[in-house]
Chains A and B, each alone.
Chain A
Amino acid sequence: MVEKAILGFGRFLKAHAVVIWLALSMCAASAYAANAIPVPSTMPWWTLPLGLFVTSFLLGIVAVPSGVGGGVLFVPIVGGFFPFHLDFVRGAGLLVALASALAAGPSLLRGGLASLRLALPLAVLASASAIAGAMVGLAIPANIVQIALGSTILGIVLLMAMAKKSEFPEVLAPDSLSTALAMNGIFHDAARGQNINWQVHRTKTGLALFLCIGFLAGLFGMGAGWANVPVLNLLMGAPLKVSAGTSSFILTLGDSSAAWIYMNKGAVLAIVTVPSVIGMMLGATIGARLLHVLKASVVRKMVISLLLFAGIRALLKGLGIWV
């Protein structure tokens, strides 16, 4: 019964993709309008947290089929169009990404789609550099962070539009470091009904890139699935499903270290964080069930256009052109 209702909802979403895009835009625009009005408005206190919940719910639905984490959508959209200061939005963004990763982590580990052996060396570096990113992010002026965020989001749009994926990359021989760390494994591919052996290479370059990715995640308060997956899959040669699962697991460590810094600095506001976390998790649950109903390429294009808009908005806000 519930399954039927969700599938029906999925068909509705599929038929009304443009309407959803407009709904998200309207949520953003109404929040922007609230931002443009002097803040002590006559609106009751609960309107913006409710708007935040609805926006996060819609973002959660599109995040899964589009293959990006919720955090990367949340920070530029909420930071650009809601009146909350960017410091609080980044604190909430980290918790949104962390909660989503924690919810998915156990089943990914049990199913062999996340590998503890592959994740641990990368996660140690990513979580250490995420601390540095968080400290830098909270130390520099918000407009500089907005400019850097806008530029990074536009870079992600390019990456999403151009990056290829490889279901089973060919790794002829593992490098010496991945051999020493035994960064290999087996996962059961349910679609093929068989066990797949995998191994990785270019481990040193991968480790260096995870240092940079962790820093960016801490700096902007975003999850880093958009960068983790290409590095694991295209550079290191892990199968796509293992890359996506391990990426999500790495976030449980990277985002929690950065989240501690935001929390210790007082940048986690419950009224911003909790509706976002609950909305995103509910939306992602529905999004995951709609994977086979929604056309992923259409959702992906919609998300790319949303990110493009949010990236330009962040850049212009940081430059003081569209405040």
Chain B
Amino acid sequence: MTKETSHISSEQQRYAFLLQLGSRIGLAVLIASFLAYVFGLIPAHVPLEQLTQLWHLPLHEYLEKTNTPTGWNWVSLATKGDISNLIGIAILCASSVLCLLAVIPVYARRGDKVYVVLCILAIAVQLLAASGILSVGH
């Protein structure tokens, strides 16, 4: 550890390592799936030629016309080119949860109960958002 980084806490170092790992994996998966999608290696749920006539529509109309599922139902269509991109996006969105989980034991060992609770709250918020429970109509 250098003089410049000796004041960086161990939990912060651990968080940084996992965040970098998660975001790199997410980005790599996203780029790979996007290339497979635009070069037609995997058939799309909504063909690209058709998409140009639909992307100006309000969300609810677009979903209706393309029969695109909401919530976690996209997983059943994850083999489709356009939908497969959501895997990389989900990894990017979820990468912080892994980091938060990893720093809880560090705070707990130090007896820093407030930050243990804060980490649990932050994870709960992320899981609530990801769950798909919170959905409203347009």
Contact = CB atoms under 8 A, between A and B. Distances in A.
Q: Do A and B bind each other?
A: yes
A299 interface: no
B27 A106 contact: no
Interface of chain B, helix or strand or loop or mixed?
A: helix
Interface stretch (A82-90, A168-176, A222-230, A288-296): A82-90
Interface string A230-260: 0000000000000000000000110011111
Contacts of A117: 9, 115
Interface string A163-200: 00000000000000000110001111010000100000
A127 B70 contact: no
B55 A110 contact: no
Nearest to B61: A85
B132 interface: yes
Contacts of A135: 134, 136
B137 A258 contact: no
B41 interface: no
A270 B92 contact: no
Nearest to B8: A112
Contacts of A277: 30
Given A253-B122, A260-B93, A270 B85 contact: yes
Nearest to A278: B31
A277 to B, nearest CB: 7
A138 B134 CA distance: 12
B85 A274 contact: yes
A102 B92 contact: yes
A142 B95 CA distance: 31
Given A45-B48, A256-B92, A266-B59, A274 B30 contact: yes
B52 A45 contact: yes
Contacts of B58: 85, 87, 142
Contact of B126 (A111, A115, A138, A260): A260
A252 B96 CA distance: 7
A264 B85 contact: no
Interface string A114-128: 011100110110011
A256 B99 CA distance: 13
B110 to A, nearest CB: 11
Interface of chain A, helix or strand or loop or mixed?
A: helix
Contact of B89 (A95, A106, A111, A188): A95
B77 to A, nearest CB: 11
Nearest to B119: A120
Interface in A101-157: 102-103, 105-107, 109-112, 115-117, 120-121, 123-124, 127-128, 131, 135, 138-139, 142
B55 A83 contact: yes
B13 A131 contact: no
A159 interface: no
Contacts of B70: 264-266
A180 to B, nearest CB: 7
B74 to A, nearest CB: 8
B129 interface: yes
A80 B134 CA distance: 28
B138 A139 contact: yes
Contact of B93 (A85, A112, A131, A256): A256
A258 B34 contact: no
Interface in A38-55: 39-41, 43, 45-46, 48-49
Contacts of A264: 70-72, 130, 132, 134-135
A43 to B, nearest CB: 8
A115 B12 CA distance: 8
Top-6 shortest CB links A-B:
A270-B85, A102-B23, A106-B20, A109-B16, A260-B129, A257-B129
Interface of B: 3-5, 7-9, 11-13, 15-17, 19-20, 22-23, 26-27, 30-31, 33-34, 37-38, 48-49, 51-53, 55-59, 62-63, 68-72, 74, 82, 85-86, 89-90, 92-96, 103, 114-115, 118-119, 121-122, 125-126, 128-130, 132, 134-138
28 contacts: A35-B56, A43-B52, A83-B55, A87-B58, A98-B92, A102-B23, A102-B95, A105-B23, A111-B8, A116-B11, A120-B115, A127-B125, A127-B126, A128-B125, A138-B138, A188-B5, A252-B19, A253-B96, A256-B94, A256-B126, A260-B93, A263-B89, A263-B93, A266-B62, A268-B86, A269-B82, A271-B38, A274-B30
